[in-house]
Structure formats: C-alpha cells, structure tokens
Amino acid sequence: GEDVEQSLFLSVREGDSSVINCTYTDSSSTYLYWYKQEPGAGLQLLTYIFSNMDMKQDQRLTVLLNKKDKHLSLRIADTQTGDSAIYFCAESKGSSNTGKLIFGQGTTLQVKP
C-alpha cells in the first residue's frame, strides 16, 4: 500500500523539543522526507533520509528511521515560535517505473510562547 500516516496536531512550549511521528506501509520506499508548510505557502523540504540510514542530524533537526517498524520521526530541538507550521512526512519509492512521491496528512505544530 501507499499509506503514510501522521498525527494531526502537536502543541509544545517555546524552548521544548518537538517530536513529530510518521508511519508508512511500503517497505520498498528508498527515501523518506520531511517537508514544512507555512500558512498560505507551498511546501519546502526540511530534510530527508535514505532507507539504509537510522539517523540523520542537521542542526536542530534529528530524523530517526526504524525501518523494521516503518516508523519515521522528526525531532526539533529548542522549538521556536517560527517553527509553527504544518509538517509533512513523505515517501519516495525510488523505483524507475513509478516515481511517486506520497505525503501524509500533515502534523500542525503549534508553539506557545
């Protein structure tokens, strides 16, 4: 299947860490992505991870991949009010005959001052 599932809402206080979770069903997915959407805008890539990696860190962002459980998470350290947005998990099958890029429902992150 091609389902990508996320919880819809997360609220944290400024300065805390945020963890956004995602599950996917297709074990053939080769790349997994996190995108950010600010109000009234399109999506922008935050980070991605290849399926043979367990973890990737990029400044305040840490991506963890549990391939056995098909679970992906995005941790934002020291969350700021400017991090308030919708975060989308996406999977890319990487197969030459599909090229599909499938997104989850999006998690709205609310950061309280």
Query: Does residue 103 belong to the site contacting another protein (CB under 8 A)?
Result: yes
- In angstroms and rounded to an integer, the radius of gyration of the C-alpha atoms of the chain is 14
Q: If you write DSSP's letter for every residue of 34-77 in order, what string do you get? A: EEEE-TTS-EEEEEEEETT-SEEEETTEEEEEETTTTEEEEEES
State which of residues 39, 42, 82, 113 lies at the interface with another protein (CB under 8 A). Answer: 42
Query: Does residue 100 belong to the site contacting another protein (CB under 8 A)?
Result: yes
- Phi first, then psi, for residue 100 (nearest 5°) are -70, 145
Per-residue binding letters, 48-87, with another protein (x by CB under 8 A): x-x-------------------------------------
Query: Does residue 30 belong to the site contacting another protein (CB under 8 A)?
Result: yes
Q: Which stretch binds another protein (CB under 8 A): 11-19, 35-43, 58-66, 68-76?
A: 35-43
Using DSSP's 3-state secondary structure scheme, residue 93 falls into coil
- Phi first, then psi, for residue 111 (nearest 5°) are -110, 115
Residues of this chain that interact with another protein (CB under 8 A) are 2, 4, 6, 8, 30-31, 33, 41-45, 48, 50, 88, 92-96, 98-106
